[in-house]
Structure 1
Amino acid sequence: MSVWDSLVGQKPVADMLARIAQSDPAQLTQSWLICGPPGSGRSNMARAFAAALESPDHGMNAEPTRVTQQVLAGTHPDVTVLTTNKVTIGIDQVRDLIATSEQMPATAPWRIIIIEDVDRMLERTTNVLLKEIEEPAERCIWLLCAPSAQDVLPTIRSRCRVVNLAVPSATAVADFLVAETGVEPKTAQRAARLSEGHIGIARLYATNERVMTDRDELVVGVLNLARASDAVLLAGNLIDNAKGQAEADANDWADKQEAEFRRVNGLAEGERIPPKLRGAFNQVAKKDDIKRFATRRTRDVLDRALNSVASIYRDVAVLQNNAEDSVGLINLENRTAITELSVRLNRAGAVARLDEVARARKRLAGNGNPLLTFEALFCALIP
């Protein structure tokens, strides 16, 4: 299949970029901003576009070329991807990218720089990038990724060609999960529905029973809120689960980093690190890096929790407005309890609780205390 076929629910954009990749290089825009909601596949779209620009077949052949395979695997010498497990992208990382961008490509037509989550840059970091985006080096293409154009400073946005991705349909996500992970169609359909079009979260729900169980318990807990003590207990359980997931992910990441170091240096598992490699080995998955990774993962889990809570009141509003036939419910397994809640709350009450979720999200973004934030949120949700 072509490089575009693995992208879920984005055929119009994929077709457009495929045509552009085959057009006159002299007419090619060199600064791009690829936007899409979390989980829409914007980073995968950027990689596919990069592969189409670099490969002689423009990524169209059913059998991928070696260039395409290298780009998608992140090993092509002329394609650099900046991704971060930290909360923000550092200014030194961007300066290194700029230095790389000014080098001529070694083997391919273009030197391509992909920055995932460019919205995580602080303003001073973005200002360092601005000149390169405005006047790229002769053979360099910048592919920036962000949730939306509004999440990027206007000075950057105005100098890029913006590409907007859609939210993949639940059917498209479910089909992808079955093909990609081999899970049962019923499991894939439920994961796709609960993820609300987020491919990464859908994969997580489909393949990680603990994550799915934590979500189920959270939804039931919110629906059963009756007093402040319920809110405090639920918030404590949520934070503990978030930390547990984050620590497990961080340790798994550290193990993979060590395994990759051993593979590259021809060392067997458990083999003693030679003295000449100890300095480099000590830089692999340092404690500070693991801590930052865990912090980022904790925020991801809490953000996912907020989405789950918001989905409850979205479903309440759907029932209150007799819109189930047209848009459906997300939390079908909890339909009875949500129906009861839709009767207890008026429409203004449902909207007010969605506002409370948005307020909690804003507090977390401002580095508010997570436990206090969720205690306040859950207290505000009590009918």
Structure 2
Amino acid sequence: MSVWDAIVGQKPTVELLSRIANDPADVAQSWLICGPAGSGRSNMARAFAAALECPNHGCGECATCRHVLANTHPDVTVLATDKVTIGIDAVRGLIETSEQMPATAPWRIIIIEDVDRMLERTTNVLLKEIEEPAEHTIWLLCAPSAQDVLPTIRSRTRVVNLAVPSTKAVAAFLMDTVNPSLPEDRRFTEHVASRAARLAEGHIGIAKLYATNERVMTDRDTLVVGVLNLAKASDAVLLADHLISDANAQAAEEIEGQVARAQADFRRVNGLGEKDRIPPKIRGAYNALGKKEDVKRRTTRRSRDVLDRALNSIASVYRDVAVLQNNAEDAVGLINKENRTAIANLASRLTREAAIGRLESIAVARRRLAGNGNPLLVFEALFCALIAA
């Protein structure tokens, strides 16, 4: 087993980074790892960090590798955020950390996920450290593309571009890596893995979600059928209401599960049973895990992620329409194969310009959501715009 085993569909990049980790004498100290959502850029950064720190260059089995991949290694710091922007204070803290000598490993490694979320002022604070890192420090920055970060950062890093993993590669990952880790009664078939990979359009995390959560897959199917059956404004209003309710329920279920797991881990670490009373000295730390304001904020953020995924699903319908209109099915295939008849019918009723116009309407809805627009109103407007005469 290797730290690279969980990296899907990125063979050239894995070969490059593993070769550098095996002989890091001239390793660049500032990297920009780019790839679309779901391509695994954060996982790539962690794997590279583990390979650089591991005495066996990424064996995947030693304590060093396990701690790096679990975000518990003292010399590897990860900055991730569920906020719109990365704050300047967080970056200043990273800079202070980067100046410290590593405690146990060869390098002090700093990973910043979604560096594109930095405002220019924050980026300027980081710039000097990226340009002239401490001798013992490596910076691994992650972003959707090099164009999403300021040129001053881009020009001072070594850029690595990840590909969108193929459907075949994602399906193989689901069967070979995800399935064996599940209890037998929750394992999925090869057909489910292939379908999940196809519907996820190369997004590894979403493919895993579809394969392991039947409710999420069913919600997606319901949404696609609803979009294909839009005929009047009342359909649009009802579909929007249903989608928002599903998104809120999915988000609440996921965050509640995360809180429950965190509380269970807290009890285990502190030697407490499931029903044991929390001692007063640690009760505050325990209660903070389920703090109402924090749970509400995380649930809201997660519901926006679910809605963003819904926009991708809606866009896939009109992508398939365009594929049929241009006789390209044999070349690129359909994402929503199960709905081919309805999609073909829609393709015959829309002009090419109208299909493109609907994709533009989806892009407008995405911008409105990103601008903190009311989700229900955003999707009511979108679904009304998608109604085909």
Asked if 1:188 is matched to 2:188, the reply is no
Equivalent in 76, 81, 89 of residue 79 of structure 1: 76
Alpha-carbon displacement from aligned partner over 1:196-229 (angstroms, at most 9, x marks no partner): 0000000000010111111001000000000111
Q: Which moved more, 1:64-73 or 1:183-192?
A: 64-73
Counterpart Cα distance in 2 of 1:51 and 1:17: 11
Match of 2:4 in 1: 4
Counterpart Cα distance in 2 of 1:270 and 1:121: 43
Asked if 1:265 is matched to 2:264, the reply is no
Go from structure 1 to structure 2 and tell me whether the alpha carbon gap of 1:87 and 1:246 turns closer, same or farther (over 3 Å shift): farther
Opposite residue 290 of structure 1, the aligned amino acid is: V
Structure-to-structure mapping, 1:319-338, within 5 angstroms: 319-338=324-343
Equivalent in 294, 307, 310 of residue 312 of structure 2: 307
Counterpart Cα distance in 2 of 1:117 and 1:380: 32
Equivalent in 192, 212, 218 of residue 213 of structure 1: 218
Asked if 1:69 is matched to 2:74, the reply is no
What TM-score does the superposition give when structure 2 sets the normalisation length?
0.94
Aligned residues, how many? 380
Asked if 1:115 is matched to 2:112, the reply is yes
Asked if 1:41 is matched to 2:37, the reply is no
Opposite residue 68 of structure 1, the aligned amino acid is: C
2:139 aligned counterpart, secondary structure: strand
Match of 1:237 in 2: 242
Mapped contact 2:40–2:204 kept (Cα < 8 A): yes
Asked if 1:370 is matched to 2:375, the reply is yes
How many angstroms does 1:267 deviate by? 1.9
Go from structure 1 to structure 2 and tell me whether the alpha carbon gap of 1:125 and 1:263 turns closer, same or farther (over 3 Å shift): farther
Asked if 1:292 is matched to 2:297, the reply is yes
Match of 1:15 in 2: 15
Alpha-carbon displacement from aligned partner over 1:172-192 (angstroms, at most 9, x marks no partner): 000111112322110000000
Counterpart Cα distance in 1 of 2:256 and 2:24: 47
Mapped contact 2:24–2:52 kept (Cα < 8 A): no
Go from structure 1 to structure 2 and tell me whether the alpha carbon gap of 1:257 and 1:95 turns closer, same or farther (over 3 Å shift): farther
Mapped contact 1:78–1:110 kept (Cα < 8 A): yes
Go from structure 1 to structure 2 and tell me whether the alpha carbon gap of 1:157 and 1:313 turns closer, same or farther (over 3 Å shift): same
Opposite residue 195 of structure 1, the aligned amino acid is: A
Counterpart Cα distance in 2 of 1:30 and 1:270: 49
Counterpart Cα distance in 2 of 1:122 and 1:304: 25
Percent identity of equivalent pairs = 72
Counterpart Cα distance in 1 of 2:24 and 2:77: 23
How many angstroms does 1:280 deviate by? 2.6
Match of 1:253 in 2: 258
Alpha-carbon displacement from aligned partner over 1:353-382 (angstroms, at most 9, x marks no partner): 111111111111111111111111111111
Match of 2:185 in 1: none
Counterpart Cα distance in 1 of 2:273 and 2:27: 46
How many angstroms does 1:24 deviate by? 4.1
Alpha-carbon displacement from aligned partner over 1:121-169 (angstroms, at most 9, x marks no partner): 3333333322222221221111111111122222222221111000000
Mapped contact 1:85–1:292 kept (Cα < 8 A): no
CA RMSD, Structure 1 to Structure 2 (Å): 1.4
Asked if 1:124 is matched to 2:121, the reply is yes
Mapped contact 2:130–2:157 kept (Cα < 8 A): yes
Go from structure 1 to structure 2 and tell me whether the alpha carbon gap of 1:198 and 1:74 turns closer, same or farther (over 3 Å shift): same
Any stretches of 5+ residues in structure 1 without a counterpart?
A: none
2:278 aligned counterpart, secondary structure: coil
Go from structure 1 to structure 2 and tell me whether the alpha carbon gap of 1:34 and 1:285 turns closer, same or farther (over 3 Å shift): farther
What TM-score does the superposition give when structure 1 sets the normalisation length?
0.96
Counterpart Cα distance in 1 of 2:287 and 2:123: 31
Match of 2:27 in 1: 28
Mapped contact 2:54–2:65 kept (Cα < 8 A): yes
